[in-house]
Amino acid sequence: MAVKAAIDFDFDRQIERSNTNSVKFDALKAVFGSEDVLPMWVADTDFAAPEAVVQALVERAQHPVYGYSLYPDGLYESMIDWFAERHSWRIDRDWIMIAPGVVPSLHAVAMAFAAPGEGIVVQPPVYPPFFAAAAKTGRSLVINPLVHRDGEYTMDLEQLERCASQARILALCSPHNPAGRVWRESELQDMLEIARRHNLLILSDDIHCDLTFPGHRHTMLASLATEQDQIITAVAPSKTFNIAGMGLSALVVPDPAHRQALKTTFEAMHIEPANPFSIVAFEAAYRHGGPWLDALLEYLQGNVQLVSRYLAAHLPEIRMDEPEGTYLLWLDCSRLGMSDAELKSFFIHQARVGMNPGTSFGDAGSGYMRLNIGTQRAVVQEALERIALAVRTLKNR
């Protein structure tokens, strides 16, 4: 495929997404009970995908047969090259298992490596499917809450030690959604030591690994592994390049016995992730998306700075830890003095901004809301102004 290099990346260009079957825009009534909210919730972005991805899809669409498809060598090579260049992580091709998304992979790992009733450790507040992977597969949920101290979330290692003795799997969110933490290598090493002592298998969800801000370096947990470690890594180009609707991801599974167990599990569910469009999008993104991503990270950093300055100047009632990664901000709204139900209603009906309630990330999310800033800066500004007006109106009653 001939790829034309993009000269400019216009992330300020607003693209109409309503009436495109977009979950983020066209499910507002179902999720919030109103279409009169600014959608700042579900974790995709409002930016056009890299031009190379669009070209690859158009070219594939022009071939008029869309039958059953294989995974080409180029798909594997693009992924291997990406992680070697961006993350200094060497992946053997044999380790790669193509999967139908990270969420199905969480469930497959739970079923393949924990018997019914065995424990899966999760670290809330955390992405809701982490809870579902245990609850919906009949496994036991073992809670190891993160600790919020000195403006950041950290792992409670003492509690994790106790949890590990009750579990078979540790589900790691890295970088962490919604806390925005990019775990330091020393933190990951401490966690690995606990996993080794208790023979824990770790499922590391690294779907946001490319979305880290200056001053922070993402460490792939598997790059720290020794022969005794049991680590399965879930990755995808979906969050990085805004192609989540393609539904294609990969598991990196060094242990042949683990690969066979997962293969058996996926076959039992009769899941076939391949479709001709997701395949070409996956490869084109990893092969040609680097310059686009670099520009995106700079733009997102500007959005973070906008929110940080605005909260300090106009909304001191809402606090935010400076995120180290992802395009999701974790807002502490506890100073507004509302219950979680009142908080949810306030943002929908008074502020008219659609965000994810903190409690959807576990009890540790009480008093919080998650704001998606993966959108045009003007939209972020409008959301902040709506919230500020609603807070002023509330205070003036």
Q: What are phi and psi of 388, to 5 degrees?
A: -60, -40
With a cut of 70, list the residues of the chain below it in pLDDT: 1-7, 273
pTM to 2 decimal places: 0.95
- Domains, in order of start, for the chain: 23-51+290-395 (3.90.1150.10), 65-288 (3.40.640.10)
Are the CB atoms for 112 and 262 separated by under 8 Å?
A: yes
Please give the sequence-ordered ranges of beta strands (E in DSSP) within the chain, or none if there are none.
38-39, 96-99, 119-122, 140-143, 147-149, 152-154, 169-173, 201-205, 230-235, 249-252, 319-320, 328-332, 353-354, 356-357, 368-372
- Measured between alpha carbons, how far is 65 from 223 in angstroms, rounded to an integer? 40
DSSP class of residue 4 equals P
Backbone angles phi, psi at 171, to 5 degrees: -95, 115
**Strand partners of residue 371:** 329
What is the DSSP track for 173-207? ESS-TTT-----HHHHHHHHHHHHHTT-EEEEE-T
Tokens matching residue 190 = 């401490």
Q: What is the pLDDT of residue 101?
A: 93
* Whole-angstrom distance, CA of residue 174 vs CA of residue 49: 23
pLDDT at 167: 98
**From CA 254, how far away is CA 344, in angstroms rounded?**
43
- Give the pairing type, strands 353-354 and 38-39: parallel
The radius of gyration of the chain from alpha carbons, rounded to an integer in Å, stands at: 21
8 Å CB contact between 153 and 146: yes
Q: Distance between CA 387 and CA 315 in Å, rounded?
A: 8
Q: Are strands 201-205 and 230-235 parallel, antiparallel or unpaired?
A: parallel
How many beta carbons lie within 10 A of that of residue 14, not counting itself? Answer: 11
Predicted pLDDT at 162: 97
φ, ψ for residue 98 (rounded to 5)? -75, 135
pLDDT at residue 164, rounded to an integer: 97
Which pLDDT value is given to residue 273?
A: 66
Which tokens sit at 81? 């090259």
* Separation between Cα atoms, residue 188 and residue 257, nearest integer Å: 24
- Rounded CA-CA distance 345/255 in Å is 48
Count CB atoms within 10 A of the CB of residue 280.
24
d(CA 173, CA 221): 11
Both tokens assigned to 58? 């158009």
**What is the model's pLDDT at position 2?**
39
